[in-house]
Amino acid sequence: MSIKKELQSRSNNCCEICTATENLDIYTVEPATKESLKDSIYICNTCKEQIEDAEKMESNHWRCLNDSMWSEVPAVQVVAWRMLHRLKKEGWPQDLLDMLYLDEDTLEWAKATGEDIDESEKIIHKDSNGSILKAGDSVVMIKDLNVKGANFTAKRGDFMRNISLVHDNAEHIEGRVNGQHIVVLTKYVKKSK
């Protein structure tokens, strides 16, 4: 059975967040990058659009979290927790957050995107052009760099695919160049399309 069919069955062909029945699709919950029954949910375009673009969020739409936060599906719980944190300035989401319990692994997953951190405290990785970098992105070196301890030079134009972000330093990313795992300053790379 395909992942889509399994998600349709699990959700009864409804959005797992707001119960809408039209324009439904698979949404993979970050930091996961591959569709799977464990890491994906079945949601409507309205929910997906507002999850991906905070400027399009309509707080009244998310009152549906009052019900969906009690889902037994960890991926749904993670999205509910993240959206409640995004909306907590509204007042009512804080009450729901106070009631929401997530087991340790699910809470760690929910916190992976930093929704619970105040904007002024978030560590945001940006490339040399100011583009925001995310885990899993690909970048291109913009300068030749001597790699300490590895006896090679990462050349301008070399790709670093599937990067990792250093969680406590916005200026550092990790990845592989010429088969070597290295740490690079973000000012020496640009995001690849």
**DSSP assignment of 26-80:** EEEPTT--S--TTTEEEEEHHHHHHHH-GGG--GGGGGGHHHHTT-S-HHHHHHH
Domains of the chain: 3-119 (no CATH), 139-191 (2.30.30.40)
Kindly give the confidence (pLDDT) of every residue in the chain, 193 residues in length, as a single tens digit, with 9 standing for 90 and above: 799 999 999 999 999 999 999 999 999 998 888 899 999 999 999 999 999 888 888 999 999 999 999 999 999 999 999 999 989 888 899 999 999 999 999 999 998 877 766 555 567 788 988 888 888 889 999 999 888 877 888 889 988 888 988 877 889 999 888 888 888 899 999 998 7
pLDDT at site 122: 61
Residue type, 51: I
Tokens, residue 190: 């640009």
> How much is the pTM?
0.62
Q: CA angle, corner 170, sides to 164 and 173, nearest 5?
A: 30
Judged by DSSP in three states, 171 sits in coil
Judged by DSSP in three states, 87 sits in helix
**Separation of CA 83 from chain center:** 12
Neighbours of 128 (CB within 10 A): 16
pLDDT at site 119: 53
pLDDT at site 132: 84
